[in-house]
Structure 1
């Protein structure tokens, strides 16, 4: 994905002279495209309540997720914008890092509000920007995979298991560029880094009816890569 963004940016810069798109105070820029969330963090070890305890030191790995991005920016001045990043739900598969076992899956929405700086605001041509903001990520549709269920059943005599992930609030930094194609349309390339961490709880019920919770922290800290189009109103 990173290589594709670099190649697309290089090609787009060559097209920049084909159009002009000055951003000015009061403009609204709407962007839509394809975004990929690529986790870069790690997970705490998982301690299963066996006797003696079973430790999985690598925790879990969270796979990439891709969805449709929906982004709106209001230009507060020629050089400063207020952006809202939204998207359709991202889905991620979760695997145990120490074993070839699928652990589960989750969906999330990552609305992010950022203040952006446009160094070429008010000028025709390509429009690079930098941003800093706050991300709120909410998780839902968490599921425990049958493979993990089988492992828990063997180790703990588990009859049912439920996964839940805490919502996250963290800082987000971004960089991007709009490369004009016409007076209104542009090619958009963007990247975010989001400080995103959560606590995972696996609530289990054993064959004897006892309840137990396995908790561990997961630092997802994703890079988000977006390619799409922008339209200036």
Structure 2
């Protein structure tokens, strides 16, 4: 009777436990989900760097809004514990605002921009590949391509035009975890820090012909993603 009970218990446990072997050398992992870029923008003072007012310190600072898009991860396992991963996403769009500058008309929403942040990382999975739960850490390099900058309607009425922001190279670090539902499908969650710095410029001929203001911004966002994955 005890043997029958034990056998039934083991059978039930086998049905409940995930039949999954996690990542092994040669595996290709594809993950997709919602990804949020939350900038922790820390800017220098807004200054005039061209035109009759060159050298004028306008004070204040620049801020950026958050955005959520479709995130994609592509990873290749070099060994059972080490992989190479590429982060991609659909374009993020952020509002750029100025506040507390010396020019009242410059405060508020200056405009918006879009960016793509491809990030290449080396990731390390410390647990045995028989574990369904697979935490990992990673580090790598990011290139942020900024494009489609434009001033907002209110800023345009105040004389602002030709809003530009430079692309950025920086480092990135991440933590994350996969939970294998079965041998192919997984649930994934991850968080990463990306070092993004840019110089933004904007013209305002209303202040004098050829006048341009600039501000250096350390965007440095935290990036969060939750989704599902598939192992080939």
Q: TM-score, normalised to structure 1's length?
A: 0.83
Structure 1, unaligned runs of 5 or more: 1-15
Contact 2:34 2:226 in 1 (8 A): yes
User: Displacement of 1:206 after TM fit?
Assistant: 4.0
Tell me if the contact between 1:73 and 1:82 (Cα under 8 Å) persists in the aligned partners.
Answer: yes
**In 2, Cα distance between the equivalents of 1:52 and 1:171?**
33
Judge conservation of contact 2:64–2:96 (CA < 8 Å) in 1: yes
Q: Which residue is 2:97 aligned to?
A: 95
Residues 51 and 91 of structure 1: CA distance in aligned 2, closer, same or farther (over 3 Å): closer
Equivalent in 123, 126, 151 of residue 119 of structure 1: 126
2:143 corresponds, among 136, 139, 150, to 136
The structural deviation recorded for 1:147 is: 2.1
Structure 1 residue 141: Cα displacement: 0.6
Q: Counterparts in 2 of 1:73-222, with a 5 A limit?
A: 73-98=75-100, 101-150=108-157, 153=158, 158=159, 161-206=161-206, 210-222=209-221
Q: d(CA) in 1 for partners of 2:178 and 2:54?
A: 57
Q: Distance in 1 between matches of 2:151 and 2:142?
A: 26
| Gap runs ≥5 in structure 2 | 1-15
TM-score scaled by length of structure 2 = 0.83
Please report the RMSD computed on the Cα atoms of aligned residues, expressed in angstroms: 2.3
Displacement of 1:178 in angstroms is 0.4
Deviation, structure 1 residue 213: 1.7
With over 3 angstroms needed to count, the CA separation of the structure-2 counterparts of 1:228 and 1:19, relative to structure 1, is: farther
Length, aligned pairs only: 210
CA drift of 1:207 comes to 8.5
Per-residue displacement from partner, 1:59-116 (whole Å, max 9, x unpaired)? 1110101110111000000010000111110011111232761111000000000000
Give the corresponding residue for 1:71: 73
Q: Which is greater in Rg?
A: 2
4+ long deviations beyond 6 Å: 49-54
Structure-2 residue corresponding to 1:32 = 32
